[in-house]
């Protein structure tokens, strides 16, 4: 698990800026979705091409968040990378420049649907009522494979909880896009993982500054329970 260390004085600065450090003190669970991002074997399995060891540690927290949200009437969405031949053709910058050719080939093969590496990590607690969404870019909202935004809007979702891996890549990119699509965003500080504490904490500071809230699972559950006790409203938590 990551050691969370935010910038000294950050909460005080945010309080001066908007009157309180957090954006959303109450969350309506009936309009909330947990986006559990890229908890796939390619990222979690020991020795996998993009193994993030800390990602295995967050799975119990993600499962707990999912269980609590389901109980309160919210929606869980398992978001996974699903690459295909067209991904190689239309995202050449990633495959030709971000990684060496050998690693790019392993990633493309491992994230192709049907490959064992592409499957969700076995410890993820997936239920029949959960949704699944494919993506072929960093952001869950930028994809040629599924329309996540339409899926959420059709269910009157206006709040997304961000969990998964990597904190500073797919989770952060999804959080930024979600805010700009006018969702309330909460990133789970103990439900995301990346390579180092520095990278993890850097993303948390960035999100807190401009894109949403950062909170641990226990805090988010408390805010959801407050929302569950209140009448449903379009702008709960603001």
Tens digit of each residue's pLDDT (9 = 90 or more) over 162-215: 999 999 999 999 999 999 999 999 999 999 999 999 999 999 999 999 999 999
Q: Which class for 98: exposed (0-12), middle (13-18), buried (19 or more C-beta within 10 A)?
A: exposed
Per-residue pLDDT, averaged over 124-133, amounts to: 97
Closest CA to 14 of 186, 207, 163: 207
Question: 49 lies in a domain?
Answer: yes
Tens of pLDDT, residues 11-56: 999 999 999 999 999 999 999 999 999 999 999 999 999 999 999 9
Question: 20 lies in a domain?
Answer: yes
In the chain, the number of structural domains is 1
Question: 106 lies in a domain?
Answer: no
Question: 139 lies in a domain?
Answer: yes
Within 10 Å of residue 228's Cβ, how many Cβ atoms? 19
**Coil, strand or helix at 4:** coil
Tens of pLDDT, residues 65-110: 999 999 999 999 999 999 888 888 888 888 889 989 999 999 999 9
Question: 174 lies in a domain?
Answer: yes
Specify the CATH number for the domain of residue 69: 3.40.50.850
Angstrom distances, CA of residue 57 to CA of 2, 61, 162, 192, 233:
9, 8, 16, 10, 35
Question: 58 lies in a domain?
Answer: yes
Question: 66 lies in a domain?
Answer: yes
Structural domain span for residue 202: 10-82+120-229
Q: At 237, is the pLDDT very low, low, confident or very high (cuts 50, 70, 90)? A: very low
Question: 73 lies in a domain?
Answer: yes
């Amino acid at each position: 698990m990551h050691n969370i260390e935010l910038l000294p004085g950050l909460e005080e600065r945010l309080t001066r800026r908007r009157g309180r450090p957090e954006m959303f003190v109450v969350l309506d669970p009936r309009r909330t979705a947990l986006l559990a991002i890229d908890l796939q074997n390619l990222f979690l399995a020991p020795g996998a091409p993009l193994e993030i060891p800390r990602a295995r540690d967050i799975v119990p927290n993600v499962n707990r968040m999912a269980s609590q949200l389901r109980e309160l009437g919210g929606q869980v969405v398992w978001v996974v990378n699903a690459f295909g031949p067209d991904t190689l053709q239309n995202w050449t910058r990633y495959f030709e420049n971000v990684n060496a050719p050998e690693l790019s080939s392993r990633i493309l093969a491992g994230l192709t649907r049907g490959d064992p590496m592409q499957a969700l990590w076995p410890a993820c607690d997936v239920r029949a009522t959960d949704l699944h969404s494919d993506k072929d870019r960093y952001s869950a909202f930028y994809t040629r494979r599924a329309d996540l935004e339409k899926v959420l809007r059709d269910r009157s979702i206006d709040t997304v909880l961000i969990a998964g891996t990597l904190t500073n890549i797919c989770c952060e990119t999804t959080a930024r896009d979600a805010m700009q699509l006018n969702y309330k965003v909460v990133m789970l500080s103990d439900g995301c993982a990346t390579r180092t504490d520095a990278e993890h904490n850097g993303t948390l500071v960035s999100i807190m500054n401009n894109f949403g809230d950062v909170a641990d699972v226990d805090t988010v559950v408390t805010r959801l329970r407050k929302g569950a006790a209140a009448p449903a409203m379009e702008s709960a938590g603001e």
